[in-house]
């Protein structure tokens, strides 16, 4: 029997399941395997979904199930897709009644299905949408749009806003994700737009993929120039390699070209960029200011007006929220999946790879509300992180492995702390992406700086974001950093950092003395590999005290806790994986 919900069009035999594993043939028809069962729900600001031109600042309840109908390399929601069945069966499901009660209790104005694709739980999503609208809530979702025309029309009747994530315009791009053609996705965009749904589109931008992104813009403009286009600078998670990641500079230059085709273009996954702000097309002044907020996310930050001072109206549906909701801990858009991956990173080092065990732990994290303040605080404090390792080791019966991992880390940590106790402390600034995006005072990276014998000057910045804030040139210069590090999670090369400093007049001792460093991917946050980052920082700040052979230390760590040589891994931005294997 053919499944007619998405364009994959699986032929499912009686008793069998489709490719997404979320539908089965029960002998009378195609039915959901896990109906009306949601994995997680939490309130977020709408910009973290991300949706930018629909009721800016609105607080909505973000919900998800598990699974996807496509399979894309470097997926940001890898654990919800690759571990869909054990997660769905983990016994932590929320019902539609639970969601509506949460939305009411949290004073949300809408419900949005995101993190995984609603098409794999389409009847469930449609039922939720109908009941939410009866309660006066707006309804939206993030989807890849690879659905049948009938499903698109059904979605059109139930959704107020939809964000559609494009893989490109060529059939080749879609075949790489297990689809046949790009055509159904553009049909979905057209049908939703013509049906009165507020539509925004995003496109993955991989290195050397400028022509395809430009072609996406042309196809969107042919449907409507008022559809915002979000350029998702590719960040390699999962099995993707760093050679697929374009620089932030390349993304910004591409956005300049795209605005000759579409007026409303935004750049994501690029901390410090100005390309998240809506500028007036007439006078070029900022109207709705936003900044980076984790993977694929943004947040209002400053001015937010739909009508510019010059009188030009921005094509935004609805009004600006009088209050901006600020998510606690790891909450907010796709930051939640990174939170789950940070737990996975520890479990991997403990040797936990059974899918049922992983699903049980992830389900417990979601159900307990740990993704809020608790996990965030424990991940950002060195000693609390070591306690978390032992907590997870106890939950999985891996106490011996936990003692081995914490012992490895503790031995090197205590050695470094002891050696720098009476040493002079240089001033260190920690950025993410562009140099003017400053990490928060309480971040783990700053704790590593202090453990390595430095003064973390970001502590003097009087405001915070997630994971940091954009500061002014004057604020940066006043900090007088002697060393400048860029985070390993979303980094820039030393060359790009020095170029940015020259362009913006960031003439500080760190730049003058060429003490600028780009950290190794995920060696300074999110994974037990931060101990390698600590040794790297110690070498840089105190070469008179430390001479760690970093590659030898890395090889020792990788062999001991991943079972692979360090040089055998092709590194990326994932926390859980040491990197893909070299062929």
Q: Which of 363, 380, 408 is the last residue of a domain?
A: 408
205 DSSP β-pair partners: 233
DSSP conformation letters of 505-551: T---HHHHTT-EEEPPTTSSSSSTTHHHHHHHHHHHH-TTT----HH
Rounded-to-integer distance, Cα 267 and Cα 259, Å:
12
Q: Alpha-carbon torsion 164, 167, 172, 176, what sign? A: negative
The verdict on 309 and 355 lying in the same domain is no
CA distance 372 to 103: 17
Residue 94's contacts (CB-CB under 8 Å, 6 or more residues apart) are 37, 38, 39, 40, 41, 63, 102
Same-domain status, 322 and 387: no
In this predicted structure, what is the pLDDT of residue 582?
Answer: 45
Q: Give the chain's radius of gyration (CA, Å).
A: 24
Strand, helix or coil for residue 168: coil
60 and 194 in a single domain? The answer is yes
337-346, 447-456, 563-572 — most confident range: 447-456
Please report which confidence band the pLDDT of residue 475 belongs to, taking 50, 70 and 90 as the band edges: very high
- Let me know: does 283 contact 223? Beta carbons within 8 Å: no
Mean pLDDT of 23-32: 94
- Gap between the Cα atoms of 13 and 24, Å rounded: 8
Same domain, 311 and 368: no
What is the rounded distance in angstroms from the CA atom of residue 77 to the CA atom of residue 384?
26
Same domain, 160 and 231: yes
Are the beta carbons of 346 and 394 closer than 8 angstroms?
A: no
Please give the Cα distance from 11 to 22 (Å, whole number).
Answer: 14
> Is 339 inside a domain boundary?
no
The string of pLDDT tens digits covering residues 62-86 is 999 988 989 887 676 666 767 667 6
Percent of the chain exceeding pLDDT 90 equals: 78
| Distance (Å, whole) CA 267 – CA 205 | 10
The residue out of 294, 327, 360 marking a domain boundary is 327
What the block records as the tokens of 258 is 């795209």
Pick the more confident residue, 369 or 187: 187
User: Residue 558 in contact with residue 548, Cβ under 8 Å?
Assistant: no
The pTM score is 0.93
CA-to-CA distance for 527 and 579, rounded, in angstroms? 12
Is 323 part of a structural domain of the chain? yes
Residue 265 sits in the same domain as residue 315? yes
Residue 350 has pLDDT above 90, yes or no: yes
* Domain-embedded: residue 479: yes
Q: Which of 31-40, 211-220, 359-368, 561-570 shows the highest mean pLDDT? A: 211-220
pLDDT over 80 at 221, yes or no:
yes
The three-class DSSP label of residue 138 is: strand
**Arithmetic mean of pLDDT, 195-202:** 98
- Please check whether residue 70 is in contact with residue 179, taking contact to mean a CB–CB distance below 8 angstroms: yes
| Whether pLDDT at 423 is above 90 | yes
Does 25 map to a domain?
no
**363 and 445 co-located in one domain:** no
Q: Output the pLDDT for position 83.
A: 66
One domain for residues 383 and 438: no
The gap between the terminal CA atoms of the chain, to the nearest Å, is: 40
CATH for 495: 3.40.50.1980
Same domain (yes/no): 399, 502: no
The per-residue pLDDT for 120 is 95
Residues 396 and 443 in one domain: no
The answer to whether residues 138 and 195 belong to one domain is yes
Quick one: tokens of 284? 């070029």
Query: What backbone torsions phi and psi does residue 341 show, to the nearest 5 degrees?
Result: -70, -30
**Spatial contact of 60 and 138, defined as CB atoms under 8 Å apart:** yes
Count of structural domains within the chain: 3
The band of 583, judged by pLDDT with boundaries at 50, 70 and 90, is very low
Which domain does 481 fall in, by range? 427-581
Q: Judge contact between 582 and 569, C-beta under 8 A.
A: yes
Q: Interior CA angle at 520 toward 337 and 495, to 5°?
A: 115
- Pick from 181, 184, 204: nearest CA to 192: 184
Residue 334 resides in a domain: no
Closest to 273 in 3D by CA, of 290, 254, 295, 294: 290
Is 2 inside a domain boundary? no
Average pLDDT over residues 295-308: 93
> 66 vs 119, which has greater pLDDT?
119
Does the residue 23 lie in any domain?
Answer: no
Is the four-CA dihedral 14, 18, 21, 23 of positive or negative sign?
Answer: negative
63-77, 174-188, 431-445, range with the lowest pLDDT: 63-77
Strand order from edge to edge, sheet including 286-292: 278-279, 286-292, 298-304
**How much is the pLDDT for 372?**
73
Mean pLDDT over 122-140 rounds to: 97
Q: Which of 581, 558, 577, 557 is nearest to 237 (CA)?
A: 577
Confidence at residue 79, expressed as pLDDT on a 0 to 100 scale: 66
Q: Does residue 40 have a pLDDT over 90?
A: no
pLDDT of amino acid 331: 77
Residue 72 is predicted with a pLDDT of 83
Query: What is the predicted pLDDT for the residue at 568?
Result: 74
**Separation of CA 163 from chain center:** 16
Q: How large a percentage of the chain has pLDDT more than 70?
A: 96
Residue 416 lies in a domain: no
What value does the mean pLDDT of the chain take? Answer: 93
Q: At 516, is the pLDDT very low, low, confident or very high (cuts 50, 70, 90)? A: very high
Task: Note whether 233 and 367 are same-domain residues.
Answer: no
> What is the distance, to the nearest Å, from the Cα of residue 195 to the centroid of all Cα atoms in its chain?
30
CATH of the domain at 318: 3.20.20.70
Question: Cα separation of 377 and 383, whole Å?
Answer: 11
Structure tokens at 34: 């896990």
């Amino acid at each position: 029997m053919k499944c007619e919900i998405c364009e994959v069009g699986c032929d499912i035999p009686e008793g069998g399941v489709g490719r997404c594993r979320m539908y089965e043939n029960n002998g009378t028809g195609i039915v959901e395997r896990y109906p009306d069962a949601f994995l997680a729900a939490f309130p977020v600001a709408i910009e973290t979904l991300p949706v930018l031109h629909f009721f800016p600042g609105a607080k909505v309840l973000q919900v998800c199930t598990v699974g996807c109908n496509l399979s894309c390399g470097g997926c940001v929601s890898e654990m919800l897709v690759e571990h869909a069945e054990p997660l769905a069966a983990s016994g932590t499901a929320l019902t539609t009644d639970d969601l509506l009660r949460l939305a009411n209790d949290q004073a949300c104005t809408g419900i949005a299905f995101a993190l995984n694709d609603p098409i794999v739980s389409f009847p469930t999503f449609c039922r939720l949408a109908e009941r939410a609208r009866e309660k006066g809530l707006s309804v939206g979702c993030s989807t890849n749009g690879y659905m049948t025309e009938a499903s698109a029309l059904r979605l059109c009747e139930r959704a107020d806003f939809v964000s559609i994530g494009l893989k490109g315009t060529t059939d080749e791009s879609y075949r790489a994700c297990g689809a046949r053609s790009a055509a159904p996705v553009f049909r979905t965009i057209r049908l939703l737009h013509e049906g009165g749904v507020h539509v925004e589109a995003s496109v993955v931008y991989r290195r050397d993929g400028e022509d395809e992104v430009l072609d996406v813009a042309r196809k969107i403009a042919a449907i409507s120039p008022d559809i915002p286009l979000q350029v998702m600078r590719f960040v390699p998670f999962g099995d993707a390699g760093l050679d697929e990641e374009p620089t932030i500079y390349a993304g910004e230059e591409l956005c300049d070209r795209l605005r000759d085709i579409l007026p409303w273009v935004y750049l994501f996954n690029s901390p410090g960029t100005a390309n998240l702000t809506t500028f007036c097309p007439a006078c070029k002044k900022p109207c709705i200011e936003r900044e980076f907020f984790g993977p694929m996310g943004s947040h209002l930050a400053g001015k937010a007006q739909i009508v510019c001072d010059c009188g030009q109206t921005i094509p935004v549906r609805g009004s600006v929220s009088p209050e901006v909701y600020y998510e606690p801990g790891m909450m907010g858009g796709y930051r939640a999946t990174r939170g789950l991956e940070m737990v996975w990173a520890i479990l991997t080092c403990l040797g936990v790879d059974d899918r049922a065990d992983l699903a049980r732990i992830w389900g417990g994290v979601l159900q307990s509300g740990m993704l809020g303040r608790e996990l965030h605080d424990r991940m950002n404090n060195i000693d609390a992180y070591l306690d978390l390792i032992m907590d997870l080791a106890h939950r999985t019966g891996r106490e011996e492995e936990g003692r081995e991992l914490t012992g490895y880390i503790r031995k090197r940590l205590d050695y470094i702390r002891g050696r720098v106790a009476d040493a002079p402390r240089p001033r260190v600034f920690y950025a993410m992406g562009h140099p003017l995006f400053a990490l928060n005072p309480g971040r783990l990276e700053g704790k590593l700086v202090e453990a390595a014998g430095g003064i973390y000057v970001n502590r003097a910045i009087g405001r915070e974001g997630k994971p940091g804030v954009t500061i002014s040139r004057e604020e940066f210069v006043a900090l007088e950093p002697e060393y400048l590090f860029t985070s390993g999670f979303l980094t820039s090369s030393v060359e790009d950092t020095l170029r940015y400093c020259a362009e913006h007049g960031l003439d500080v001792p760190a730049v003058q003395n060429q003490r600028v460093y780009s950290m190794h991917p995920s060696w300074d946050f999110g994974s037990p590999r931060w101990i390698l980052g600590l040794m790297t920082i110690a070498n840089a700040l105190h070469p008179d005290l430390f001479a760690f052979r970093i590659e030898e230390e890395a090889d020792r760590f990788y062999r001991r806790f991943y079972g692979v040589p360090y040089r055998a891994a092709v590194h990326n931005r994932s926390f859980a994986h040491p990197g893909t294997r070299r062929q």
